[in-house]
Amino acid sequence: MLSMQKVSFRYGKNTDYVLSGVDADFVPGKFYTVFGPSGSGKTTCLSLLGGLDTPTAGEVLLDGISLRQIGGEELRRKHVSYIFQNYMLFPYMSAVQNVVTAIEISGKGGREAKQEAEKVLLSLGIEEKDMYRKVRKLSGGQQQRVAIARSVATGSRYILADEPTGNLDKKNAQMIIDIFLRLVREQEKCLVVVTHSQQVRDASDIRYELTDGQLSLWGEAAEYAEF
């Protein structure tokens, strides 16, 4: 479980807190969305969960161990992976090479890495003819699927996605959502998605709203929590 315990964060000593005493748990097998107005700190929240930022106060824990102890690099290499709105792929590589690179960084190199990359890409609807094309020549939807494949192939339990459908049309967005659901349901991944999209939000299991530095459950889950 990935937990935020009384997490506060601000960018500088003389700046306001972006997050203030946030508590949240993210468990495998669940699809989480975090939404809120622009500048509310959604991406910051994701960065803290992925060890790209360190809390000013409080702790982020992975299975009860502080991320300070685990270390950001180790965390991202083995436990957490990112999906970005603008895909963040190596543009000069093919889809397979992009996925293989991530697998290699996670410490699983060799011939198996390529087979694994092909398998994952195929499962996410990337056809064989597209696998070895430079990713910049692929459509937005395809690129995002490659980015998802990259995060899945490393074997991370926690997938953090920042506006993954932001650049996609409704049809492609739905395709991504379906993939996310499959990952959560079939592979027991924990998916935390920061989004403005109603479509994504509606598909998620648990929704958090971030306002005024506070993360709060929203919708049915909130009602259930209150109950």
What residues line the site for other proteins (CB under 8 A)? 44, 47, 50, 52-53, 72-78, 81-82, 84, 86, 88-90, 92-93, 97, 101-102, 104-106, 134, 150, 154
In whole angstroms, how close is the CB of 200 to other proteins at the nearest point?
Answer: 20
Cβ at position 74, least distance to other proteins in Å:
7
The one-letter amino acid code at 209 reads E
Q: Least distance to other proteins from the beta carbon of 227, Å?
A: 37
For residue 40, the minimal CB distance to other proteins (Å) is: 16
**Cβ distance to other proteins smaller for residue 97 or 144:** 97
Instruction: Using the minimum distance from each CB to other proteins, give the nearer residue, 162 or 209.
Output: 162
User: How far apart are the C-alpha atoms of 74 and 139, rounded to whole Å?
Assistant: 32
CA 108 to the chain's CA centroid: 21
Closer to other proteins by CB, 93 or 221: give it: 93
User: In 3D, which of 151, 217, 158, 223 has the Cα closest to residue 188?
Assistant: 158
In the complex with other proteins, the residue whose CB is nearer, 136 or 185, is 136
In whole angstroms, the minimum distance from the beta carbon of 102 to other proteins comes to: 5
Alpha helices of the chain — where are they, by DSSP H?
A: 42-49, 67-70, 72-78, 95-105, 111-123, 128-131, 140-153, 170-187, 198-203, 220-226
CB of 86 to other proteins, least distance (A): 6
Instruction: Report d(CA 26, CA 45) in Å as an integer.
Output: 12
Report the half-sphere exposure of 149 (CA within 13 A, side-chain side). 32
The smaller minimum CB distance to other proteins, of residues 92 and 224, is found at: 92
DSSP string computed for 13-41:
TTS--SEEEEEEEE-TT-EEEEE-STTSS
Residue (33 or 156) nearer to other proteins, CB: 156
Contacts of 110 (CB under 8 A, 6+ apart): none
Collapsing DSSP to helix, strand or coil, 64 comes out as: coil
